[in-house]
Amino acid sequence: MAVLLPPTATRGFAALGLVQERNFRLHLRCADCSHVEELTIRLFDEVDDPATATDFYESGALGQIEYACERCGCEAAIVVGEVEYVPTASEASDVA
């Protein structure tokens, strides 16, 4: 399974060219206070890692997310809406 990474800005090695990652965006609603937060999950791009939003659901990656609500600190959340695959900068430039 993939290793979940903190955002690039907090890693300190912003120009790490050999490491590829896949990004998934999801919205979580706190089970206690109903506050909705957007969260981007960054996964290493490895052989068995999810490549699509469907793969993300089926991979069990949701179970590895450590969540705590910004407002109340509750650690239980519900995924609201769809998990969205976010293209990397190189993928976005390939499309353009």
Tell which residue, 72, 16, 6, has the closest CA to residue 39: 6
Domain boundaries, the chain: 21-95
Give residue-wise pLDDT tens across range 10-69: 444 444 444 577 889 999 999 999 999 999 988 877 777 787 888 888 888 888 888 999
Is the pLDDT assigned to residue 75 strictly greater than 90?
yes
Q: Is this structure's pTM higher than 0.75?
A: no
Is the pLDDT assigned to residue 96 strictly greater than 80?
no
Q: What is the pLDDT of residue 33?
A: 97
**In angstroms, what CA-CA distances link 57 with 2, 68, 69, 70, 83?**
13, 20, 21, 24, 8
Q: What is the pLDDT of residue 1?
A: 41
